[in-house]
Amino acid sequence: MRFTKKLLLSGLVLALSIGFSGAASAEESNRYGLVYQGAITKNVAGQVNIHPVKYKLHGLKIAANVYTPADYSSDKKYAAIVVAHPNGGVKEQVAGLYAQRLAELGYVTITADAAYQGASGGTPRNTDKPYFRTEDIHGMADFISAYAGVDKDRLGVLGICGGGGYTLNAAKSDKRFKAVATLSMFNSGQVRRNGYMNSQLDTIQERLQQASDARAEEIATGKIAYSGTVDFDALTEESINKITNDLYREGMMYYGKTHRHPNSTFAYTTSSLMELMSWDATDNIDLIDQPLLLMAGSKADSLYMSQEAFQKATGTQDKELFLVDGATHIQTYYQPQYVNQFVAKLQDFYGAHL
């Protein structure tokens, strides 16, 4: 077991790569809807290519992107990596960035919009339940294992933010994953139950009642109540700066301004809280016996969740908590000096185990 803290190569923090007011311009100019810096705009022979695909999972249409390495050939055999996106995120944002970067290292990668979210099917829209999110990860593994050229015995997984918590849950039972990694892991059940940084412990029962009432209303009238709704168009720099914690303040900038995508929303059905609040990503985490890499920024106020998971993951002796100095949670999504370090770590990790 290892705990490492990588020194930051440079103390310079880069300015936001896209202006505050020009939020959706990248999405509008990219035929694949990708909003991250350096995204593929067209498939070029001899380079990493992107392939939008659709498949069925429990009767629902799932929209995904598969990235293939440079000079990919179906006659060769490749290790593959499943990438799970954050809560509220979509495949065109940070999940796509890391999927593309891993494809540059020679892996076939897949990232899909969660069922009921993004461009995937399912109603009510933006249902966010742990079972479905975990099944999304199993479903990506199903699809990519059968993809031409993929060696199904060399399959890894990377979960980002909320996708990280669900990745831990999936890996407890899915032994197709030979190497398990998370970035800025967010334990959705714990946060929905206790509040971020345990700030809502005194209102748990009240919020459970609200969730129960919302479900009853759905059944009785068909009316869907939502929590976490944000009017991104009404966001101002002044209102964002008033948010006290880094994750939500910088998250509003990332999702609402600099890397905005029309399919991305913080909203989720209030009734989802019935399942979310009674769930925890670290329950039975000792079932993970695969090599495990938890990555985070040293300045992330969400770091406590990766630290808890690391301590509880007693089923594997090959585990590491890897920190990059100076990075906050959201900065791990896009700032090149941080992303480069995480990608280099993933290159070593997957290279050793896949």
Query: Domain residues of the chain, as ranges?
Result: 2-187+230-264+280-353
Mean pLDDT, range 246-275, rounded to an integer: 96
Question: Would the pTM count as exceeding 0.75?
Answer: yes
Whether the Cβ atoms of residue 241 and residue 304 lie closer than 8 Å to each other? no
What pLDDT shows up at residue 28?
56
Q: Name the residue among 8, 10, 9, 28 with its Cα closest to residue 18.
A: 28
| pLDDT score, position 20 | 32
Three-state SS string over 187-227 comes to CHHHHHHHCHHHCCHHHHHHHHHHHHHHHHHHHHHCCCCEE
Instruction: Return the pLDDT at 5.
Output: 45
CA-based torsion, 345, 346, 351, 354: positive or negative: positive
Share of the chain above pLDDT 90, in %: 90
Domain 2-187+230-264+280-353, CATH homologous superfamily name and number: Alpha/Beta hydrolase fold, catalytic domain (3.40.50.1820)
Side-chain-side CA neighbours of 139 within 13 Å: the count stands at 26
Evaluate if residue 155 carries a pLDDT over 90.
Answer: yes
Q: How many other C-beta atoms are found inside a 10 Å radius of the C-beta of residue 186?
A: 25
31 confidence band (pLDDT: 50, 70, 90): very high
pLDDT band at 235 (very low <50, low <70, confident <90, very high): confident
Proportion of the chain above pLDDT 70, given as a percent: 92
Weakest mean pLDDT among 2-11, 15-24, 193-202, 305-314: 15-24
The predicted model gives 73-97 an average pLDDT of 98
Residue 206 in contact with residue 214, Cβ under 8 Å? no
Angstrom CA distances, 53 to 39, 56, 64, 189, 308, stand at 18, 11, 5, 30, 36
Q: What is the pLDDT of residues 106-122, one digit of tens each?
A: 999 999 999 999 999 99
Q: Which amino acid is at 341?
A: Q
Element (H, E) at 183: strand 177-183
| Alpha carbons 306 and 321: distance in angstroms, whole number | 8
**Least confident residue range of 3-17, 47-61, 76-90, 281-295:** 3-17
Helix/strand/coil for 70: coil
Q: Per-residue pLDDT averaged across 183-187, rounded?
A: 98
* Mean pLDDT along residues 303-332: 98
Q: What pLDDT score was predicted for residue 21?
A: 32
Question: For residues 151 and 5, which has the higher predicted lDDT (pLDDT)?
Answer: 151
How many residues appear in the chain? 354
pLDDT attached to residue 179 = 98
Residue 237: the pLDDT is 87
Q: Binning pLDDT at 50, 70 and 90, where does residue 29 land?
A: confident
What's the whole-number mean pLDDT along residues 54-73?
A: 98
Percentage helix, strand, coil for the chain under 3-state DSSP, each rounded to 5 = 40, 20, 40
Query: How far is it, in rounded angstroms, from Cα 316 to Cα 141?
Result: 22
Which pLDDT does position 12 carry in this prediction? Answer: 27
One-letter amino acid identity for 76?
K
Question: Which of 106 and 16 is assigned the larger pLDDT?
Answer: 106
Helix/strand/coil for 139: helix
Residue 1 confidence (pLDDT): 52
Backbone phi, psi, residue 209, to 5°: -65, -40
The mean pLDDT of the chain is 92
Picking from 87, 70, 86, the residue whose alpha carbon sits closest to that of residue 78 is 70
Q: Report yes or no: 4 and 323 within 8 Å, Cβ to Cβ.
A: yes
**206-210: long-range contacts (C-beta < 8 A, 24 or more apart)?**
207/273, 207/277, 208/273, 208/274, 208/277, 210/270, 210/273
Residue 14 predicted with pLDDT over 80: no
169-178 average pLDDT score? 98
pLDDT band of residue 2 (cuts 50, 70, 90) is: low
